[in-house]
Amino acid sequence: MPPPVNNTQNSVEVDFEGQVLAVINRLRAAFAELFQAVGADATKPQDVARDFGLNKNLTWKISKIICEPDTAASIGYLPGRAGLNILLDSFKKSGAPVQSLKEVRDALAEFDRVQKVHAGDRETLEAMLGALSNGPDAAQQNEAQRKLAFRGNGVIWGVQSRIQICINIIAPSSDPNYVDLAWISGLVDFRRLRRDAVWAIASTRKVDDQGHTLPTGQIRSLDPEFSGDDNAPLLGEYCSDPLPDLKLNTGADGVLRYELVEGPVGNTAATTCIIGLLGKCFVRRTKADADTIGEHLVRLYTPSELLIHDLFVHRDIQNALNPTLHLYNQLPIAPPYPIGGRSQGEMPIFDPMTPLGPGMTAAVVPEYPQYRSILYSACEFAGWQPRDFHGFRFRLKYPPIPSVAVFRYPLADQ
């Protein structure tokens, strides 16, 4: 016989969003009423600090709680109780109504209760609220959490990189049903924190709509100086000197991985490794059975300070000129993307895709001045004109790992 259902507990769990947003709105309204009661202008926190003898940071935080349009993000500014007591005592001395002060204290008590029920502590509650936030403040808070993860993952996995780049450039092919693809990927200022760390810096794989592996076809190095089976397909001009030591690992899962072998640790041994490949008739341009979606992804497995993921589409490939951006976790809780389906494991994106416009002139990365030169070199190797392409960029500080970021567009009808 199954255990009885605790309907009270279930209703609390289901109603998390409603309860927590309601108590935050109550707290915001209580602060707004209190400010109004003492003649304080919440839009001018510095004036409030001066007029009431309060700390400017304290009044700024309360101002953000009142004025922040994103309800879920506003609670991140709630001061500690010592600061709140100072503010309430100051307003009380300035003649604030007893009922207004009581409403703030009651709202704070209700907030504490909801926090304890749903999260247990403030830090966990703010993490839970992150999924409900959509404003610029939410993006900043999410970035701060990712930065902490970056530091921890560097210690755990024994590696870090300053920048991870992934560039996909697609152009018409000799076969009208396919496109040619230039693919550049690499790590800038990659360093080991442990000498024994072996690390895949790039990988490639082709799949259909259901995630079934497709033959990779004929691919070659973009840089003719690094062609041939015995060479890793480096873009030698953009790699550190001496060249990084790479090996090719062909996995049973159909993924080709280019791995940096073991090496010395620290900044003095940091390396930059950029590889470039060109595939002729590499991915479909038109729809086929079980193959109706065009996708270009970057696998995010390396703790990195910055991700630059760019897609450049030739102006003649009209179906790909309005791509969408998606981010998927790759935790082993379900079949990995895309085998588990494109509706599973999708993560929120706080940093939207940026159109770069026609040509490659705007494809600047201040943190890596050589970046645009890489694009022009790739086009020269492939025999393309940079002015013929439209660019799209996903730029993200401290990308979450493990995950994949995906540009997606519908394939054209035949």
Q: Which pLDDT belongs to residue 153?
A: 94
Q: Which pLDDT belongs to residue 317?
A: 96
Q: Which pLDDT belongs to residue 205?
A: 56
Burial of residue 229, with CB atoms counted within 10 A of its CB: 0-12 exposed, 13-18 middle, 19 or more buried: exposed
Q: Which pLDDT belongs to residue 167?
A: 97
- Separation between Cα atoms, residue 169 and residue 386, nearest integer Å: 10
Domains of the chain: 7-129 (no CATH), 144-410 (2.60.40)
Kindly calculate the radius of gyration of the chain based on its CA atoms and give it in whole angstroms: 26
Q: Which pLDDT belongs to residue 325?
A: 96
Residue 52: CB atoms within 10 Å: 18
Q: Which residues contact 210 (CB under 8 A, 6 or more apart)?
A: 290, 338, 339
- Separation between Cα atoms, residue 281 and residue 176, nearest integer Å: 9
3-state secondary structure (DSSP) of residue 160: strand
Residues of the chain with pLDDT under 50: 1-14
Q: Which pLDDT belongs to residue 301?
A: 92
| Cross-strand partners of 219 | 279
| AA identity, residue 238 | Y
